[in-house]
Amino acid sequence: MRERMTGRVGRIISGSFNALIDAVENAAPETIMEQAIREIDEAVDDVRTELTQTVANKHLANSRLMQINQKLDDLAGKIELAVAENRDDLAETAISQQLDMEAQVPVLEHQIAELSDAEKELEGYITALQAKKREMRDELTLYKKSQSQATAVDAATSSSSSVETKISRAESAFDRVMGNATGMGSTTPIDRKSSAQMSELEDMARHNRVKERLAALKKKQGL
């Protein structure tokens, strides 16, 4: 979705006044330019909506990361206490939780970094689109001043359907920048026996990591 949005915003920014007028030579230039400016407004609104969602997701990811770090600190103290009291069963349970949470930390950190980049990118799109809108308004004002009344009346006879068709063909009318394009690729079924074996192997590896961490903690405490 990001590549599609980048391409669309890029076409809006790179589009020129003269190219747009040439592409719809049978239509009223003022009407086309005003429509294009309105569609830039729509594009800005769409980007702002995406920006709001991005900021919200970043806040949620940051909050979750803080919660995990606080829980890890709490578990560390409890694990040390359990080891000191020779409660290996309690220590192993806490270590298991610790491993689960530690696995989430790099994922959340990566997500936060990506969302920060997306936030800056979207803010840049808004700035660029607003600048393009000002530029188009200035060019439209100059164009109106330079055209004769006869040309304006003749150009106004073009039908709206013809206008829309020519704008689409020229890719100079700007569609909505954002969409709700999300999705996950379908997964390929795997052999059930292999899946069960891999799951068992992962459980063994995990149990081993728990034992290793418990042994290290005991060694640290001189037990």
What's the mean pLDDT when you consider all of the chain?
76
Give the pLDDT of residue 138.
Answer: 84
Check pLDDT > 90 for residue 103: yes
Confidence of residue 215 (pLDDT cuts 50, 70, 90): confident
Check pLDDT > 50 for residue 129: yes
Domains of the chain by start residue, with CATH: 2-146+161-178 (1.10.287)
Confidence of residue 183 (pLDDT cuts 50, 70, 90): very low
- Do residues 155 and 29 make contact, with C-beta atoms less than 8 angstroms apart? yes
Name the residue with tokens 């990566």: 110
What are the structure tokens assigned to 49, written together? 């909506």
**Distance (Å, whole) CA 26 – CA 164:** 12
Cα angle vertex 57, ends 51, 58, to 5°? Answer: 90
Residue whose C-alpha is closest to residue 46's, from 185, 177, 170, 160: 177
Rg (CA), the chain: 30
Question: What is the pLDDT averaged over residues 101-118?
Answer: 96
Check pLDDT > 90 for residue 111: yes
Question: What is the pLDDT averaged over residues 160-175?
Answer: 46
Q: Which of 93-97, 99-103, 200-204 has the lowest mean pLDDT?
A: 200-204
More confident residue, 64 or 177: 64
Check pLDDT > 70 for residue 222: yes
Give the pLDDT of residue 4.
Answer: 65
Check pLDDT > 90 for residue 141: no
Question: What is the pLDDT averaged over residues 203-223?
Answer: 84
Check pLDDT > 60 for residue 66: yes
Question: What's the predicted TM-score (pTM) here?
Answer: 0.62
Residues contacting residue 174 through CB under 8 Å, at least 6 positions apart: 8, 11, 12, 15, 36, 39, 40, 42, 43
**Distance (Å, whole) CA 40 – CA 34:** 10
What are the structure tokens assigned to 81, written together? 């206490």
Give the pLDDT of residue 62.
Answer: 97
